[in-house]
Chain A
Amino acid sequence: MRAKGSLLIKGGRIVDPATGIDRVADLLVKNGLVEKISQPGERLGSKTQEVISAQGKVVVPGLIDIHTHLREPGREDEETILSGSQAAVAGGFTAVACMANTYPPIDSQEGVRFVLERAKQANCRIYPIAAVTKGLKGEELTEVADLVKSGTVAISDDGNPVTRSQIMRRALEYSKIFDIPIISHCEDRDLSSRGVINESYTSTLLGLGGIPSVSEEIMVARDIHLAQFTQGRLHLAHLSTAGSLSLVREAKGKGIRVTAEVTPHHLILSDELIRQSFDPNLKMNPPLREKKDIEALREGLADGTIDCIVTDHAPHSPEEKDVEFDAAPFGIIGLETSLGLILTELYHKGILGLKDIISLMSTNPAQILGLKGGSLKVGDPADITIIDLEREWKVKPSQFKSKSRNTPFGGWILKGKAIATIVGGGIVYREGI
C-alpha cells in the first residue's frame, strides 16, 4: 500500500515512542513514506496536494493489532478481510494480523496466499498468521518454511492450545531458524473442561462451569520452560491472570525470549458483571477474571511485563451469540472500541501515559512480528493515526463497520477516538477532520 503524492499533517502533537519524539510539529508525507518532521520553529511547505490540520490532536504511528479473527474464509457472514479492515481503520488501526482458525484453517501456502490476495482490497495492512499444526489438530507441524516464504508473520493454533508438549517443543525448536514467534493460546483443556466463565465465587453463585486460573497458568509455565529449553521465540496470547503475569515477569528476568499480550476487556471488565445479566457478550476465552487479576495486568503494562495490547477481535453472528450463556460461543469484537477503551480507562484515569499506550499498541506489536510501521522515522511507511484525546463518543454497535455486533461495550461513553487513519500515505478513514 503506497499512495502517490504528498500530504501534510499540520500542527499536531507527534508522539512516536520509536524515535522518542513528543512535540508539536508538521509531518510531511511523500509517495507513501514519512518525508520530514518539522524542527521546532520550522513550518513545512504548503505546496502539498493535501493538508490536514491536526491542531490539538495527537499524531502517532499507526496502531497495530496482532491478534484478530477475520473469519474469512468460511464465516463471511460474520466478518471478511475487507469488513474487518474497515472496522480496523475506523478504530485507528493501520495493520492487523489475523489468526488461522478459519474454515478451512490457514495451514498451507495456499491458505496464506488466499488471505494475502483478499488483503489487496483491504483498507489496512493484513498480516496472516498460519497454524502451528495441520488442521489445528495439534498433531503434525505445518510447513513453516513454506508458510514464512509465502508471507506468514507468526504461527499459532489460537483458539486451541497446542496440547501436546512434544509438538510445542518441536514447533519452538523448528521455527526459531525463521525468527518468527509462536503465539500460544495457553489453556489446559483438561482443567477448563466444560467451563464457560472464570472459576470463582461468581461461577459458584451462578452455577456456571468454571475455567480455573491454573488452566492458563500451567500452560504459561510449560511454554516458558520450553522456550527456555529450545531458545525458541514465544509470544503468549491474551493473558488474563495474576499468576500468569508473575510467571512472565520471572521469565523475562531470566532473559527467556518471551513476549506477552493482553486485551482491553481483560484490563477493564471482571467476572462479577455476569451476575444477574448472564450476558453472552461477557463470554470469552480466556474468561473475564477477578479484580485482583485486572490489577495485576495493569501493573504488568506499567512495568513492561506485558508488551502489547490486542483486541482478540472475535466476530460471532447474533444467531450464535444471542442464546443461553452455556450455548453461546466464546469471544467478542474489539477493533472499533479498543483505543477508546484504553484511552478512557487507562489514559484519562492516569494509569498509563500516552507514550506507553502507543508503545503497547503500535511500536511493540510491530517489533514482535517484525512488521513495517510502529514508528515515524523519515523513510518509514506513512502509517499514521490521528487521535482526538478529548472526543467523547457513544459506542453504537449498530453503526459498526464490522459485520458483527457482539460487544459488551454497547452504550458506553468513551473519551478519546481515532479521527483519521492513514495507510501508506493514503487517508483510509477520517471523521470530522
Chain B
Amino acid sequence: MNPSRPHLLGLEGMSAQRIKLILDTAESFKEVLERPIRVVPTLRGVSVANLFFEPSTRTRISFELAEKRLSAELVNLSSATSSVLKGETLKDTARNIEAMKVDIVVIRHSAPGAPHFLARSLQSSVINAGDGAHEHPTQALLDLLTLRERFGELKGLRVVIVGDIAYSRVARSNIWGLRTMGASVALCGPPTLMPLGIEEMGVEVYPHLDQALPGADVIYVLRLQLERQRAGLLPSLREYTNQWGITAERLAKLRQEFIIMHPGPINRGVEITPEVADGPYSVILDQVTNGVAVRMAVLYLLSGRKHEG
C-alpha cells in the first residue's frame, strides 16, 4: 500500500475523529447543494476515474454528481464497456487508467479486497465504492450523516440491522462506523444469512424480529438478493417475508419512536412493504441526498485541496 497517498478502503479501524471530520465536511458541502448554482471549483484539475466492475446505478450516479459538483474531471468505466470482458486483468486496466494521470480511482468490484489490491499497485488514491461482501464505506458514512441529522448525536443510539448480513458490505461498514461512534448495534436475520463469529464485532444477534425491534431507534433494512433463495439459503421468499419482512403490523406493536433506513434498491414486498418504505418513518430518500454530500467530502479530503466555500 502506498502510504504517501490517502485512501478510503473501509471503516474498519477509522477513528471517530476522522469520521466526524468527514461528516462535518459533508455538512458544509450540503450547504453548497442548496445553492442555485450547485458547483464549486474545489477540485478543478483533479481527475477521477470511476471503475464500476459491477452493476450499480445509485452509487455510480452519486459519485459522478459529487465529482461534477466539485468541478473534477471524470472518466467512467464500467465492465460492460471495458476491456475486462476481453480478459484484461484488473491490474492492467488500472495501470492504463493511471498512465492517463488519474488522481483518484473510485472502484466498485465483486471481489473483496479489489480496492486494496489497486491501492497496493497504483500511485492514485483509491476509494472503495463497494467490494463484494466486505465494505461499502461511503454508504455507511452517508447513513451516519443521516442519523446525525435526525438524532443530533450517534452515541447511545440503538440500531437494528435486519436481513442478509452474510452478503452485506453495507452491514459491515455500518457496524464499524456505528460502533466507533458509540451506537449499539443488533443484527436480526435467518441463521443461514448470519455469518460465523459476527458477535465478535461487538454486536448482538437475534434470530427473531420480535426480540430485536423493541427499543430500536433505527431499523435498518437490508436488500434481500433474490438469488439467496435459489442458493438454498432460504426455503422461500414467502417465508422470509413472513419471518423477517418489515411490515406496518409489526411496527404497530412498537412503543418507541424510530426511523426506517434502507440502502436501496428496495425489493418492495420482500424485505419491506411499500407502505413502510414510503411511510412517515422512512428516511430512505434523505440517505440518497446525503450520499452526494458525503462523497463530495471524501473526494475533497483525499484530494488534499483547500476548499474556500
- Asked if A44 lies at the interface with its beta carbon under 8 angstroms from chain B, I say no
Residue of A nearest to B112 (CB): A207
* 8 Å CB contact of B196 from A206, A210, A276: A210
| Number of chain A residues close to chain B: CB under 8 A | 20
**A324, B111: Cβ atoms closer than 8 Å:** yes
Task: Write the nearest CB–CB distance from B187 to chain A, whole angstroms.
Answer: 11
Distance of A200 Cα from B201 Cα, bound (Å): 12
Distance of A286 Cα from B216 Cα, bound (Å): 42
- What string of 1s and 0s marks CB contacts (under 8 Å) between B183-202 and chain A? 00000000000011110110
- Asked if A273 lies at the interface with its beta carbon under 8 angstroms from chain B, I say no
Contact A207 to B132, CB < 8 A, known contacts A323-B90, A324-B113:
yes
**A278, B90: Cβ atoms closer than 8 Å:** no
**B196, A326: Cβ atoms closer than 8 Å:** no
**B111, A326: Cβ atoms closer than 8 Å:** yes
Distance of A326 Cα from B131 Cα, bound (Å): 11
Interface positions, chain A 309-324, Cβ under 8 Å from B, are 319, 322-324
Interface positions, chain B 6-58, Cβ under 8 Å from A, are 12
- Asked if A201 lies at the interface with its beta carbon under 8 angstroms from chain B, I say yes
**B114, A324: Cβ atoms closer than 8 Å:** yes
- Asked if A6 lies at the interface with its beta carbon under 8 angstroms from chain B, I say no
- Asked if A93 lies at the interface with its beta carbon under 8 angstroms from chain B, I say no
Task: Write the nearest CB–CB distance from B129 to chain A, whole angstroms.
Answer: 14
Distance of A210 Cα from B192 Cα, bound (Å): 13
* 8 Å CB contact of B112 from A199, A201, A277, A325: A325
Q: Which residues of A contact B113 (CB under 8 A)?
A: 206, 208, 278, 324-326
Task: Write the nearest CB–CB distance from B124 to chain A, whole angstroms.
Answer: 17
Q: Which residues of B contact A327 (CB under 8 A)?
A: 90, 111
The range of chain B's interface size is 20 to 34
- Asked if A204 lies at the interface with its beta carbon under 8 angstroms from chain B, I say yes
Distance of A249 Cα from B277 Cα, bound (Å): 57
Residue of B nearest to A325 (CB): B113
* 8 Å CB contact of A278 from B12, B89, B91, B117: B117
**B198, A325: Cβ atoms closer than 8 Å:** no
Residue of B nearest to A318 (CB): B91
Distance of A278 Cα from B109 Cα, bound (Å): 14
Interface positions, chain A 348-398, Cβ under 8 Å from B, are none
Q: Which residues of A contact B111 (CB under 8 A)?
A: 324-327
- Asked if A86 lies at the interface with its beta carbon under 8 angstroms from chain B, I say no
Distance of A207 Cα from B111 Cα, bound (Å): 9
- Asked if A203 lies at the interface with its beta carbon under 8 angstroms from chain B, I say yes
Interface positions, chain B 63-122, Cβ under 8 Å from A, are 89-91, 109-114, 116-117
Distance of A324 Cα from B119 Cα, bound (Å): 12
- Asked if B271 lies at the interface with its beta carbon under 8 angstroms from chain A, I say no
**A203, B89: Cβ atoms closer than 8 Å:** no
Q: Which residues of A contact B158 (CB under 8 A)?
A: none
Interface positions, chain A 263-279, Cβ under 8 Å from B, are 276-278
Q: Which residues of B contact A277 (CB under 8 A)?
A: 116
Contact A204 to B132, CB < 8 A, known contacts A319-B89, A322-B91, A324-B109:
no
Contact A278 to B196, CB < 8 A, known contacts A205-B201, A206-B134, A325-B111:
no
- Asked if B295 lies at the interface with its beta carbon under 8 angstroms from chain A, I say no
Q: Which residues of B contact A207 (CB under 8 A)?
A: 112, 131-135, 167, 169, 172
Distance of A59 Cα from B149 Cα, bound (Å): 73
**B132, A326: Cβ atoms closer than 8 Å:** yes
Q: Which residues of B contact A319 (CB under 8 A)?
A: 89
**B89, A323: Cβ atoms closer than 8 Å:** yes
Contact A206 to B112, CB < 8 A, known contacts A324-B117, A326-B132:
yes
Task: Write the nearest CB–CB distance from B214 to chain A, whole angstroms.
Answer: 26
Residue of A nearest to B201 (CB): A205
User: Can you identify 18 A-B contacts, CB atoms within 8 angstroms?
Assistant: A201-B200, A203-B195, A204-B195, A205-B12, A206-B112, A206-B113, A207-B131, A207-B132, A207-B134, A207-B167, A208-B134, A277-B116, A278-B116, A319-B89, A323-B89, A323-B117, A324-B109, A326-B110
Residue ranges of B at the interface with A (Cβ–Cβ < 8 Å): 12, 89-91, 109-114, 116-117, 131-135, 166-167, 169, 172, 195-198, 200-201
Beyond A208-B132, A327-B111, 12 additional contacts (C-beta under 8 Å) are: A200-B197, A201-B196, A204-B196, A204-B201, A207-B132, A208-B112, A278-B117, A324-B90, A324-B109, A325-B112, A325-B113, A326-B110
